[in-house]
Amino acid sequence: MKPKDRVLTALDHKEPDRVPIDFAATPETNEMLCESLNLLGHEDLLQKFCVDFRFVEPSCKVPTYGSFFGDPLIKDYGDGRYEDIWGIQFRKIDYGLGVYYECDQSPLANIQCVEELNNFPSPNVQEIWDFSTIKFQTEENQEYAVVFDGAVLLQFCQPLRGMQQLMMDFSSNPILAQSILARVVEYWIELGTSILKAADGGIDIFTINDDYGMQHGPMFNPYTWRQYIKPLIQKAINAYKAYGVKIAFHSCGSVVSFIPDFIEMGVDILDPIQVSAKGMIPARLKSDFGDKICFRGAIDSQNILPYGSIEDVHLAVKSTLKDLARSGGYIFTSVHNIQPDVPLRNIVAMYEAVMEYGYYPL
């Protein structure tokens, strides 16, 4: 079975030849794996782990110093700080095994009303992004399930406004908070639909990345989310689904209370199943929602992968397949990007295990 057919069969809640396999890791982890396994690059790594997905992205028309949240960093202050196309300043943090970016200054931190927001310019999608290679990328990967993994909606409002202030806004100034989100959604609808138009039907899955959960529950009151946030997220989903793609929705943490809403909104894939978070119990999720939504992830990257033995990894893979993969509707991968402190033997063991236990019938 070809990778694309395997994935689409599983997303149709049917059993393909084996469970579809995905892979996500930090750049540092990728580099260490390639060196350890004597592989030439990332594509060789995907082939090694029998990954059924490939990703496409537009190129940038303006000079950049990298990207964060999918947006180009276009200014380098020379002291570890960078500024993106929205005017958000990020600081590069070196934690020993690798680097990450965190928000250092939010351009909308001090505005008080919608009128001030109206004076803040949004980036021009067509001036920044080049979509001319998208069609070629999809054709080059046509045997795989092709994914655009990019849209960041509510979560992008956090560095734009400041997370603490944004959360307070939804209580004390919800119209402003909603207006900031509307601005981001408008930008991402234009960017996302431009990519989908350029792909001309070649993209299978469109991912929205918005974290709503913490370890022990939702990040905010689901009532607030349904009243002020859900309608705008729905608007983006509708715009993307008009192009025939499946919608994957990424949210870490405990998001059980949102799953019925995701189903109602037309989300096809929930990513990830963070098994260490409250209520995110694979067997229960499959029983309650498995005929209406597909699941991705669930191999614990918080405890099992970094601290477990090879036997622990194998047991986790077998248990996850038993709980989530029956009747299709499951994509195998780690809960989150595999970090560079995870023993390489455990990563290899994870993918060896799914190739051993992941063929149907389970």
Token pair of 213, please?
A: 């959960």
128-173 residue pLDDT tens = 999 999 999 999 999 999 999 989 999 999 999 999 999 999 999 9
Confidence of residue 70 (pLDDT cuts 50, 70, 90): confident
CB atoms within 10 A of CB 136: 12
Asked, as a colleague might, if the bond just before 361 is cis with ω within 30 of 0, I would say yes
- Select from 285, 280, 278 the least CA-distant residue to 263: 285
Provide the β-strand partners of residue 100.
93
Domain locations along the chain: 3-62+109-357
Res 139: pLDDT: 98
- Select from 187, 186, 206 the least CA-distant residue to 196: 206
| % of the chain residues with pLDDT over 90 | 97
CB atoms within 10 A of CB 43: 11
Confidence of residue 68 (pLDDT cuts 50, 70, 90): confident
Res 213: pLDDT: 95
Does the pLDDT at position 286 exceed 90? yes
Alpha-carbon gap, residue 298 to 276, rounded angstroms: 9
Instruction: Spell out the CATH class of 3-62+109-357.
Output: alpha beta
Task: Name the 3-class secondary structure at 10.
Answer: helix
Alpha-carbon gap, residue 230 to 193, rounded angstroms: 20
Average pLDDT over residues 78-103: 94
221-242 residue pLDDT tens = 999 999 999 999 999 999 999 9
Alpha-carbon gap, residue 54 to 138, rounded angstroms: 9
Alpha-carbon gap, residue 334 to 25, rounded angstroms: 9
- Select from 294, 246, 245 the least CA-distant residue to 273: 294
pTM of the model: 0.97
Res 69: pLDDT: 80
